[in-house]
């Protein structure tokens, strides 16, 4: 009896620890310039995360769903263990909790203090690019070409010269696929991808509105209409993320396995080319006068210093 109680306590502590990992990873991914994958590396569970994500397959998911049949229950248990759902589920809940909390803050700050918020983000992105570049080698023409292509592509996307195909629901779906794929890569932030695509503030506001609507509905003070609109946006993003995890994330991992250095140069160059992206959000509400630019630069300095301090405390960020 004592042994069972002790094991139960240990199991619950393990779940709480994984949930805390999710909180840390989700907080990082919700901020551009800080990567959830890097947090996973620093906390020592990156290998397990990648193994679990790559084990997510439609066949195993179907096997779990068929677990209601007693004859197939054993296979369902095996599939759950193979996908490491005991790890992924509390990790995912922790990430969602962190993203939800930060989304509300971002939505409020984007409306009340856009210069401070996006200036800070600019500094985070610039500093993360510098930190990651220092661990890479530029020893061949191939590396130089990858760097130029990455920077140029990010600049063109940020300037709206290059756009993803489609708009509205399709763009939200694609944003989910790209952003959540980036979340598992050290050095690349899911929030950075959303800023680059111009969807960060919008999706943060939609998530915040959805959660507020659900809260009011549960408290019998809201309406279903207030939940359906933002809820549809959140659902599309999540579905895109699920597709991205089993497609785009695998492509990137394949590229890293085939030509790691060139792929990393390209990915970090995407970050470098994204440095001006937050400035477009400031330009939507403020004329870029000398005063605004100086204030933005001051907040960018705060963001850069924050990233450098985090890098120092962590003992260095290296892309995987």
pLDDT at position 1, please? 46
Question: Would you mind telling me the total number of residues written for the chain in this entry?
Answer: 320
Full-model pTM: 0.76
Q: How confident is the model over 238-251, as a mean pLDDT? A: 81
CA within 13 Å, CB half, 24:
16
DSSP annotation of 285 reads: T
Query: What average pLDDT is seen over the chain?
Result: 82
Chain center to CA of 148: 24
Residue 318 has pLDDT above 90, yes or no: no
Where helices occur in the chain by DSSP H, the ranges are 2-29, 36-43, 46-54, 58-65, 73-82, 85-112, 114-133, 141-158, 169-183, 190-196, 200-218, 225-246, 248-258, 260-273, 277-283, 290-314
pLDDT, tens only, 147-162: 999 899 888 887 776 6
Q: Are 37 and 188 in contact (CB under 8 A)?
A: yes
Segment 221-235 mean pLDDT: 83
The fraction of the chain above a pLDDT of 90, given in percent, is: 14
Cα gap 134→145, rounded to integer Å = 18
- Look up tokens 């990992």; give the residue: 21
Q: Average the pLDDT over each of 93-102, 190-199, 284-293 and give the range with the smallest value.
A: 190-199
What's the DSSP call for residue 70?
G
DSSP 32: T
CA-CA distances (angstroms) from residue 120 to 109, 142, 146, 243, 268? 12, 33, 28, 31, 19
> The tokens of 51 are what?
């193994």
Average pLDDT over residues 293-302: 95
Q: DSSP string spanning 175-239? A: HHHHHHHHHTSTT--HHHHHHHTT-HHHHHHHHHHHHHHHHHHHTTSS-SHHHHHHHHHHHHHHH
3-state secondary structure of 67: helix
Query: What pLDDT does 7 receive?
Result: 59
pLDDT exceeds 90 at position 225: no
Question: CA end-to-end span of the chain, whole Å?
Answer: 45
Q: What is the pLDDT of residues 162-210, one digit of tens each?
A: 666 555 788 899 888 888 777 666 667 788 888 888 888 888 888 888 8
Measured N-to-C along each axis, helices 85-112 and 2-29 cross at an angle, to the nearest 10 degrees, of 40
d(CA 202, CA 244): 20
Which helix H or strand E contains 84, and what residues bound it? Answer: none
Which residue reads 């000398």 in tokens? Answer: 290
């Amino acid at each position: 009896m004592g042994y069972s109680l002790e094991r139960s306590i240990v199991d619950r502590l393990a779940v709480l620890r994984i949930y805390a990992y999710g909180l840390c990873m989700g907080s990082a991914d919700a901020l551009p310039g800080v990567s959830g994958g890097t947090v996973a590396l620093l906390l020592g569970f990156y290998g397990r995360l990648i193994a679990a994500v790559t084990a997510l397959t439609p066949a195993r998911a179907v096997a779990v769903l068929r677990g209601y049949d007693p004859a197939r229950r054993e296979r369902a248990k095996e599939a759950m263990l193979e996908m490491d759902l005991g790890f992924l589920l509390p990790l995912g809940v922790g990430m969602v909790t962190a993203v939800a909390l930060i989304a509300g803050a971002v939505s409020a700050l984007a409306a009340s203090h856009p210069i401070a918020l996006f200036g800070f983000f600019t500094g985070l992105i610039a500093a993360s690019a510098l930190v990651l570049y220092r661990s890479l080698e530029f020893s061949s023409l191939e590396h130089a070409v990858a760097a130029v292509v990455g920077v140029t592509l990010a600049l063109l996307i940020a300037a709206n010269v290059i756009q993803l195909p489609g708009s509205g629901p399709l763009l939200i779906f694609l944003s989910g696929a790209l952003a959540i794929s980036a979340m598992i890569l050290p050095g690349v932030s899911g929030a950075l991808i959303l800023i680059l695509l111009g969807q960060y503030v919008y999706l943060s506001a939609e998530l915040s509105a959805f959660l507020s609507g659900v809260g009011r509905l549960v408290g019998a003070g809201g309406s279903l209409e207030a939940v359906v609109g933002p809820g549809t946006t959140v659902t599309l993003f999540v579905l895109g993320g699920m597709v991205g995890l089993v497609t785009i994330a695998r492509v990137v991992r394949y590229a890293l396995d085939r030509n790691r250095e060139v792929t990393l140069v390209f990915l970090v160059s995407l970050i470098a080319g994204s440095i001006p992206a937050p400035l477009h959000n400031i330009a939507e509400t403020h004329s870029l006068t000398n005063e605004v630019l100086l204030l933005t630069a001051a907040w960018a300095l705060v963001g850069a210093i924050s990233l450098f301090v985090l890098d120092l405390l962590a003992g260095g960020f290296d892309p995987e």
